[in-house]
Amino acid sequence: MKKLSYKFTTGKTDFYFGAAFSHLSKLVLKSETIIITDKHVFDKHVSKFKGWNTIVLKPGEEFKVQQTVDAVIRQLIDLEAGRKTILVGVGGGVVTDITGYVASIYMRGLSFGFVPTTLLAMVDAAIGGKNGIDVDVYKNMVGLIRQPAFLLYDVNMLKTLPQQEWANGMAEIIKHACIKDSVMFGLLEKTNLESIRTNKNLLPALVGRNAQIKIKIVQNDEFEKGERKLLNFGHTLGHAIENQYDLSHGQAVAIGMTYACSLSGEFLKFRESDRVVNLLQQYELPTYAKFDGAKVFEVMKMDKKRQKKEIDFILLEKIGRGVISSIPLRVLEKIITANSQK
């Protein structure tokens, strides 16, 4: 197990790479800890939770809402959780989002940590301190930024993931490669999902590399005033279609990246869209979806990157270099509506 500590504005986070779930008991006392997980993770790893106070959520993005938060808080009260209680989210992005959010508001703030169990959570969702919930079709509309005390990485827990969850995680890895790491992009082109899943050296290295990319960006811009916006590559359209069309997060982001590449070609003369599209398809991700442009734009214009009559859209100058481009809403509406009709 390798421990790396990073300082952020809102606190220090310890990252434990190459760990096992059993190491959790070395970080926190069972008597002072409440685990929050979902039914899928609990059922697949039930023996690991023996002896831990555990709250089990219904799985899925549709339950990342205030009603779930209220139910968790009532269970914390029933368990007599106090200010010394530590909450540990064991699961994917929905679980870590809810755990961090509840920990930040219950009794005005408890300590919390994460054991991410999906590839997407390990490389993206659990890192950076964004904790929140959805409101109707609007993704992550309510929340706050507060860093976890620790992240514990047990890549062996990924063995139980269904194929789609692996693809979801690869969407965020490809995103990182597009905006920050052209070398990794080339490496991804030369391998495949099966090799990543089964190579005991490749998987931990890829997880660590992507975690480091996001950590560095968040350290530079924790509250998303500048560079951190780059992490939204593919997410502006992705978030607008995800909940409306019952897409997984990775699927929605992959489609969003495809459209962002098209915009990059139009505004920045980006000429490598085919490489991005081919890589997404190589990792079993969709690159096109038919949608109602008017409905999608109504959601998109409430995006958190909106600045009055413009949206900060993330585009590519070249593979490995993402840029923030302010696009007028009226221009974006025309483009989204036109593309949805093709």
Catalytic choice (146, 176, 180, 239): 239
* 224 flagged as catalytic: yes
* 317 flagged as catalytic: no
* 249 flagged as catalytic: yes
Place of tokens 């585009």: 315
Instruction: Annotate 125-153 with b (16+ C-beta within 10 A) or e (fewer).
Output: bbbbbbbbbbeebebbeebebbbbbbbbb
* 272 flagged as catalytic: no
* 232 flagged as catalytic: yes
Catalytic choice (131, 229, 235, 242): 235
Catalytic choice (64, 228, 229, 242): 228
* 222 flagged as catalytic: no
Catalytic choice (48, 175, 214, 229): 214
Catalytic choice (224, 229, 242, 243): 224
* 246 closest CA partner among 41, 60, 40: 60
Catalytic choice (40, 48, 64, 130): 130
Catalytic choice (131, 168, 232, 243): 232
Catalytic choice (61, 165, 172, 242): 172
* 130 flagged as catalytic: yes
* 242 flagged as catalytic: no
* 278 flagged as catalytic: no
Catalytic choice (108, 269, 290, 308): 108
* 3 flagged as catalytic: no
CB-count burial class (<10 Å; 0-12, 13-18, 19+) for 201: exposed
The beta-strand segments (E) located in the chain are 2-8, 11-17, 33-38, 53-57, 86-91, 111-116, 130-135, 138-145, 150-152, 306-307, 310-318, 321-328
Residue numbers annotated as active site: 108, 130, 172, 214, 224, 228, 232, 235, 239, 249
